[in-house]
Every structure is written in structure tokens, then in C-alpha cells.
Structure 1
Amino acid sequence: MKLPTIKDIKNLKGKRVVLRLDFNVPIKNGRIVETMRIDRAIPTIEYLRKKKARIVIFSHIGKDASSSLKPVAQYLSKTMNVGFVPDFRTDEARAIADCLPEGGVVLFENLRLDDLETKNDPAFAKYLASFGEVYVNDAFAVSHRVHASVVGITKFLPSYAGFLIADEVKNLSLALKPKHPFLFILGGAKFETKMPLMKKFMNIADQIFVGGVLANDFFHDMGIETGKSFVDKYNFKLTPLLKKRKIILPTDVVVKNGDGIKTSVKNLSEILSGDSIVDVGPETIKNLAPVLKKAKLIVWNGPLGFYEGGFDKATIALLKAITETRATSIIGGGDIGLSFRRQASGD
């Protein structure tokens, strides 16, 4: 079945478009730390503007209502005229949306102002839909979530994918019918979203390298000391997955000691009860070289270390190693994207 995209929408001129984007970017002291997620959404916005649509943008930022999208609106305003509404639940929001000119754009405040968003409340989804005649989703990173602005709204409006989602779906089709040898790399910290990926690719990939918090989960299940490292709480045994001999785990790691100040590289047998694992070690990356060299397809999801704390050396080293191979590579995740920029710029 062909994925309907914005190019399939007939006569956008004057139409009100509800556009769901992923502007969940890191902000410190009111300034955006990394703009990649915003930049990747701009082609879809510009296409709709060029077609004279009237564009109402919804997004979330952060885990709750405490974060604001205002800095995002200010960033977008450097290249286009973007209005900002601090509360989408008001008569003012309705009036501004109704008065948008052709090609006009307004960004509404954080969807998580209302907890009905994450509950996929039907009435709330219908309210969001009332701002448009057409719905476009280009928030690939949240498209698996059963939220009102992602799933519920599609029951009330004709729905289409933006350019980013169309591109990601195309890449995923390569991963589901891959060239071999196929290496799948899995990092990050969200166990509930990572395990379905691992189960899926256990039957597709030739080998799976596991980093990030998920590696800690394996270590914990194997009886290896993980100290004060974050370990997810789950009701699933990981060690049986090792019997297929597809999974590659780190052999050395970077740890912070008990005082949280000093860092050092340790083999797994050297981890102490006061240590916290924060990254994959250099020997592990070095040992991956033969696997990378043989691979014809590499798919990577999630950083290898505690990215938010600045521990991205292993991620950057692996990115560099992948760029030196001839493999087709599909790399996902905003944190990896930032590391890629750093690697490319030499930072």
C-alpha cells in the first residue's frame, strides 16, 4: 500500500493544514542547543507555504508542560514569518488560526499543556482536528506513540505524511529487505521502545551490536556488576537472546567513579559497585572494525553513551568508522545526528 504524502493533496491553496512536527529540541537558558530536528522539518513547511496553504503547527517539547516552544518559533522566524500562540486552548488561538493568510504559519505552544494529548483522548483529538481541513504528520520520532495529535486526529481529517516521514519509511523498507551481511546497532535508553526493534531485527540482521542503557540491561541479566549505572526495570529475560550468537556486547566501558568526578576505561570484570557506566570503551569500537568492513547494510538507532552528560566519544568514533566503509548506512535519532555534525565539523 502506497503511503499518502503531501504531494498527493490536491489544491492546497487556502486550505487549513494541521501539521504535526517534532520540535522536541534541547533548550538551555532559553536557547536551543541543537536545531537539527527543526531544520529537517523546514522542507515540509516551505512546500506547504509555496502551495499557499494556511499552516497550524503542533508539537510537544519536553516530558510535560514546563517547557516552551517559544524559542523554536523565534528560530523559525529568522527565515519565515511565524506566529506563536502560548495556549492553543483559547479563543485567541482559534481566531489567529482562522485569520491566517495563504502561506501563513502559526506555531501553537507545547501540546503537553494538556495531559489529554498523551491519553489519546478522542474529544481532544477532535479539537485539534478542528483547526484544519487536512492533517500532515512529519514527526517521525513520535509516530509510534498513541497520542491524540498522532493517532486520534487521523479519525477526523484526511491524513498524509510529510517529506521526512516519507524518506524515513523509504529507508526502513531497505532495512526490512536488506542486503547481507546486515549489521544492526542499537543504543539509547528507552527499553520499552528498543526491545520491539531488537525482536524485529533478531530475525533479519546478521549481527546486532548493543550499546547504551540496553547494554547495561544485558550486563545486569548476565550477573555482571553494573554499579550505580541506570538499569531499566522490566519483566523480560535478555540472556536467552544471546544463544543465537547474533548479539555483540561491549567488552570495555567508560565509567564514572563513586564521587561522580573521575572517569576511566574498564573491562567488564573491573566495574565496581560505586561506578556508573556512561559510554562504550575504545577497545569495543576497535573490535567492531572487521564487522563494519564486511557489512553491506548498517542500520543504527540510538547513541552508545550517556549523551546528555557529554559522553559521546564512542558514538563519534563509530560514526567515523562507518563513514570509512562502503556499506549503505541508515542512522536514526536526534542525538546521533548531533554527534554526526560534531564529527563532520571536527568538534
Structure 2
Amino acid sequence: MPEIRDIKDADIENKRTLVRVDFDVPIAEGRILDDVRIKAVIPTLELLHESGAAKITLIAHLGRPNGKTVESLRLVPVEARLRELTKVPFEMRENLRFDPREEANDENFAKELAALGDIYVNEAFADSHRAHASIVGVPKFLPSYAGLRFMKEVDKLREAQTPPVGSVAVIGGAKFETKEPLLRNLLSAYSQVLLGGALADDVLKARGMPVGESLVAEVGVPTELAGSERILVPADVYLEEEDDKGSARAAMTGDVRKEERIVDIGPSTAATWAQKISEAPFVLWNGPMGIYEEGYRAGTDALAVALIKGGARAIVGGGDTLAALRSIQDSTLKQGSSRPDLDEIEKSGRIFFSMGGGAMLKYLAEGTLPGLEALTRR
């Protein structure tokens, strides 16, 4: 595919610069709970300022307001936090998704946004799997470039497409029907693919194992995938009954009762897979091993500890996966009582924390993204 235009190669001096950023951050009662995405854009803003940009205008979305103004989804706290973090002058527009034309990829809306700048910079890799006006529409009307973080995301994921022999991919979450192309690509590149979450339930069912009330896809798993010896599913799991939430039992996968659902990988599987992660030269990981949002985190946490303690190079993506790494205490690692510094881990170059969840998976499945294609047109 054509090369992406890099912001480092752009003539920025005296240009009004429109920057699409990814500020879809968790906020509770006006307080930002995680500012990693905000911090990630600062190097690009500093580059633009130092290169003489006449004006920097930021555009972003937050949450899902469905084309209406929602007070709790205003970007005011995000803007305030960014101003605390950088002295670079900028202007910030309100939540793009307050206007229904953003998600509809309306051409007139894209033109209105394009009028805010002389050049466009996409620094929102995590949103670039969506064909929205600010992602694919604006580049039709302005010279367009990828930001520093965007380029790093693409470069790292290109590396993940050709990992060294013996590498392991760990994939969790649901929606097998959307992940089949991804799994096929991973099988062509990785020695083993470890499946957790509802994806594992789908393969277990396809292999004739009982899954009880577990979430499974409407589309069946193709025989060649279900039968692959390099696709590993849990040998044991944690199970829960609908009427008895919060008291899961561990059992072998063949012992799932019809009234139970699988909520996490079991302790034996967690230990075995943690060892595989420790021994692999490279690990690609996206998605939790259990129903993370309901508190079933033991499997995910065990693999996260193995990754942090081990020596494997890795790329990690997906909100729940990153949350697991951030929440693990060093006491879990038998080193103290404070959290591991993920910034330092990433700076070392051993582990790259991708901002893209769905975008990361789509890129690995298809080799491109709508937002990436838009940056190669001009």
C-alpha cells in the first residue's frame, strides 16, 4: 500500500493546523480517571508549535451522545487537563459527535471542519477504523498527515505482522464473527494463538465441549479453525450460575453444567499460559480472558504479571487489557506496594501499549484502516 504521509515531513510554518485527537477518556463526576490518551498527543503538539504552526485546533469526540448535546460528555475537563500538561497554545472544538453528521461522514460537515485548517493531522489511531467525517472526510479537502503517535502505532503493528518464530498471540473478548479474518492472519504468523473470553467459548462449543449458558456467537466456527492444534482454549475454567453470581467454581472444561456460564480461564490454564508468555520471544495481546467488567480478572491479571515480569517483547491493546496492566500492584509481583510504571516499561521499548482496541484488531485483520487509507490519498 502507498506510504502514509508523516507529519515530520510536512511544511508546518505559518500553517493553521487541524489535529484530530483521541480524547475518548473515562470521566467520573468531571474527573478524568485515565489521562494516557491525553498525554499521548503532546509530542505532536510540541512538534507543531516548534515548527511554527500559525494556529493549532484540536477536534475529538467523547462517548456516544448519538448526535445530541450531552452535558456530561463535553470536552471541558479534557481541555483543562491538557492545558495543565502542556504550554503549547491550542484551540479545542466541542465534542464532534454532538453533531450527527460526524458519524454519518457528511461531506458538508467535513468541509466545515477542513475550513479550520490549512493542513490536517490524524493523531487518533484508535478511531481510525471508523469512516467518520473527521477521520476520512477532512483529508479529501486538506493536505493530510499522520501524527507521531499514529506513525508509531502503525510501525509497531507492522512488526506484529511478522513476529519471530515461537511468538504467541493472546486474544480475548467476544464477536467471533468479526474476528475470523484476524484469527486466520494470526495463525499464519504466530506459533500459538491463546483464546479467552467468549471467543474461547465459541471454539469449545465447535469442538463438542459443553458451554452451558455461556455467550456464544450465532455464526459457527469453521472446522479448520476449530480443529487447529495451534489455537489453544482453556483446559479449565471458572463457572458461575445465573442465580448465584459472585461465587464461581473452578472446573475442567468438560464439566460445565447446563445452567452455568464460563466467566474466566481457570487457575491451571492461567499458570500454563503465563509460562508460555514468559518463554515467548514476542507476545501480541488484545482482550481479557474473562468477563472483566464483572470482576472476573484472575486469568487476565495472571497473564499481565507474567508479561511484566518476563522478558518478551510485546504489543498490548484493548481497554480492559491495558486496565489490567495499570491496576496490578507490585505486591502482586512480590516487589513492593506501588503500581508498575507503564510509561517506563514502554520507554524501555520492550512492551508497546497500543491506544487502539478495535482499530488494532482491524489493522491486523485487514492490513489497513479507513483513516490510514485517507492519509495516502493526497
Q: Tell me the TM-score range normalised by the shorter chain.
A: 0.7 to 0.9
User: What TM-score do you get using the length of structure 1 for normalisation?
Assistant: 0.83
- Is 1:71 aligned to 2:77, yes or no? yes
1:119: which partner in 2?
A: 104
1:286 Cα deviation after fit: 1.0
Residue 240 of structure 1: SS of its match in structure 2? Answer: helix
Q: Contact between 1:37 and 1:334, CA under 8 Å: does it hold in 2?
A: no
Residue 194 of structure 2: SS of its match in structure 1? Answer: strand
Q: Contact between 1:186 and 1:194, CA under 8 Å: does it hold in 2?
A: no
Question: For residue 320 of structure 2, what is the amino acid of its counterpart?
Answer: D
- Equivalent-residue separation in structure 2 for 1:339 and 1:32 (angstroms): 18
Q: Contact between 2:39 and 2:85, CA under 8 Å: does it hold in 1?
A: no
CA pair 154-33 structure 1, distance change in 2 beyond 3 A: same
- Equivalent-residue separation in structure 2 for 1:226 and 1:64 (angstroms): 36
CA pair 215-136 structure 1, distance change in 2 beyond 3 A: same
- Deviations along 1:58-96, one digit per CA (max 9) or x if unpaired, are 222223344333332232232246xxxxxxxxxxxxxxx
Question: For residue 299 of structure 1, what is the amino acid of its counterpart?
Answer: L
1:24 Cα deviation after fit: 1.6
CA pair 244-225 structure 1, distance change in 2 beyond 3 A: closer
- Equivalent-residue separation in structure 1 for 2:186 and 2:27 (angstroms): 34
Q: Which has the higher contact order (CA 8 A, sep 6+)?
A: 2
| Matched residue count | 324
CA pair 345-139 structure 1, distance change in 2 beyond 3 A: farther
CA pair 6-284 structure 1, distance change in 2 beyond 3 A: same
1:242: which partner in 2?
A: 226
Residue 227 of structure 2: SS of its match in structure 1? Answer: helix
- Is 1:23 aligned to 2:27, yes or no? no
- Equivalent-residue separation in structure 2 for 1:159 and 1:76 (angstroms): 23
Unaligned runs of 5+ in 2: 332-338, 340-378
- Equivalent-residue separation in structure 2 for 1:152 and 1:341 (angstroms): 35
- Equivalent-residue separation in structure 1 for 2:45 and 2:239 (angstroms): 43
1:253 to 234, 237, 255: 237
CA pair 284-150 structure 1, distance change in 2 beyond 3 A: same
Moved more, 281-290 or 151-160: 281-290
Question: For residue 41 of structure 2, what is the amino acid of its counterpart?
Answer: A
Residue 186 of structure 2: SS of its match in structure 1? Answer: helix
Aligned CA RMSD, in angstroms, stands at 2.5
Residue 225 of structure 2: SS of its match in structure 1? Answer: helix
- Equivalent-residue separation in structure 2 for 1:228 and 1:56 (angstroms): 49
- Deviations along 1:299-318, one digit per CA (max 9) or x if unpaired, are 11222233333333322211
Question: For residue 238 of structure 2, what is the amino acid of its counterpart?
Answer: V
1:48 Cα deviation after fit: 2.2
1:265: which partner in 2?
A: 250
Moved more, 167-176 or 266-275: 266-275
CA pair 345-41 structure 1, distance change in 2 beyond 3 A: farther
1:230: which partner in 2?
A: 215
Question: For residue 69 of structure 1, what is the amino acid of its counterpart?
Answer: L
How high is the sequence identity, in percent, across the aligned residues?
Answer: 38
Residue 120 of structure 1: SS of its match in structure 2? Answer: coil
Flag as ranges the 4+ runs of structure 1 deviating above 6 A.
Answer: none
Q: Contact between 2:102 and 2:132, CA under 8 Å: does it hold in 1?
A: yes
Q: Contact between 1:36 and 1:334, CA under 8 Å: does it hold in 2?
A: no
List aligned pairs for 1:61-210, cutoff 5 A: 61-65=62-66, 66=70, 67-80=73-86, 103-191=88-176, 193-210=178-195
Q: Contact between 1:218 and 1:239, CA under 8 Å: does it hold in 2?
A: no
- Equivalent-residue separation in structure 2 for 1:237 and 1:74 (angstroms): 47
1:21 Cα deviation after fit: 1.6
- Deviations along 1:14-35, one digit per CA (max 9) or x if unpaired, are 3222211222222233322222
1:191 Cα deviation after fit: 4.5
- Equivalent-residue separation in structure 2 for 1:45 and 1:188 (angstroms): 34
1:297 Cα deviation after fit: 1.7
User: What TM-score do you get using the length of structure 2 for normalisation?
Assistant: 0.77
1:179 Cα deviation after fit: 1.0
Q: Contact between 1:187 and 1:212, CA under 8 Å: does it hold in 2?
A: yes
- Equivalent-residue separation in structure 2 for 1:17 and 1:193 (angstroms): 36
1:9: which partner in 2?
A: 10
